[in-house]
Amino acid sequence: MRRLIVGIILGLAIHTAPLAHISTSTEPIAMKNTIHTNEFQVIELRRYQIKPGRRADFAAYFESYFPEAFQQLGAIAFGQFFERQNTEAFTWLRGFKDMDARAVVNAAFYYGAVWKEHRTTLNDLIVDSDNVLLLRPLDPDSGVTVLPAVDPIKELQGAGGVVVAQIFALKPGSVERFAQQAAASFAGYREAGMRQAGVLVTLDASNNFPQLPVRTDGLYLVWLGLAKDNQLLDSKFNPLAERAAKELAAGVLLRAEPETVILDPTRRSRLRWLPQ
């Protein structure tokens, strides 16, 4: 009798327990799933030079092993990209909650098992990894957009669209004035169909994980944007960006000509074009 009662109770529990939802939808991942967060206040723009002919190999290794490892530690790989103008350049964006978290996460990762297993393979493909800007959001609403991970079933072709980074080398003490001057240009990009993915400025903080160098050559502002395709990039964004670069360079707030970097998302890049 006791076994019968126990069996009935277990049967009822199984029958009434909510089942995990298994989605069979083939709908594309949408922008509505964007995570609008100010959680990551420290951002690295990391531009690596890879050995000739090995960039795709490096990306395959990187995407196979590292994004989830960073996420598990509380950081985020916002996205990773191939630079169009430099066929050996692999660029990626990484975020931390704050500077203390940067030190903790980097120590955990670079002294941990995942990096220890794969570091020889990856390091052998890297020519230079010191071109790194340490950045923060310009204001609370301008952090880097955190998009959902690429779905391996619904996004069989991988990440799409084009990412743009427009990099401005500023003179000391000019962040607020330059941001005001550039606001109209950035608004023009959005009106033309670009999606703004972040506006970042140099973070005034000491490098608390010196094993990974960062640039100390001055102040920068970085505008990040997303284009649906090359048609939008070529017909609308590029003319606007060229005009903005000339107009802004004509002022007294820049140390050098603006740099516009065209970035093709790698297969698993979170930062990519998604439908609305």
Are 78 and 131 within 8 A, CB to CB?
no
Residue 33 has what pLDDT? Answer: 60
Sign of CA dihedral 214, 185, 79, 126: negative
| Whole-angstrom distance, CA of residue 155 vs CA of residue 251 | 44
% of the chain residues with pLDDT over 70 = 87
| Whole-angstrom distance, CA of residue 2 vs CA of residue 14 | 18
The CATH number that domain 27-265 falls under is 3.30.70.100
Query: Over 50: is that where the pLDDT of 7 sits?
Result: no
Can you tell me the mean pLDDT for 21-47?
67
| Tokens found for residue 151 | 């779905």
Domain boundaries, the chain: 27-265
**pTM of the predicted model over 0.75:** yes
Give tens-digit pLDDT for 88-145.
Answer: 999 999 999 999 999 999 999 999 999 999 999 999 999 999 999 999 999 988 999 8
CA nearest to 142, candidates 70, 201, 218: 201
Query: Over 70: is that where the pLDDT of 10 sits?
Result: no
Residue 38 has what pLDDT? Answer: 76
Q: Is 190 helix (H, G, I), strand (E, B) or coil?
A: helix
| Tokens found for residue 271 | 């930062």
Residue 15 has what pLDDT? Answer: 39
Give tens-digit pLDDT for 184-232.
Answer: 999 999 999 999 999 999 999 999 999 999 999 999 999 999 999 999 9
Query: Over 60: is that where the pLDDT of 17 sits?
Result: no
CA nearest to 248, candidates 173, 164, 198, 180: 180
CA nearest to 165, candidates 49, 47, 55, 59: 47
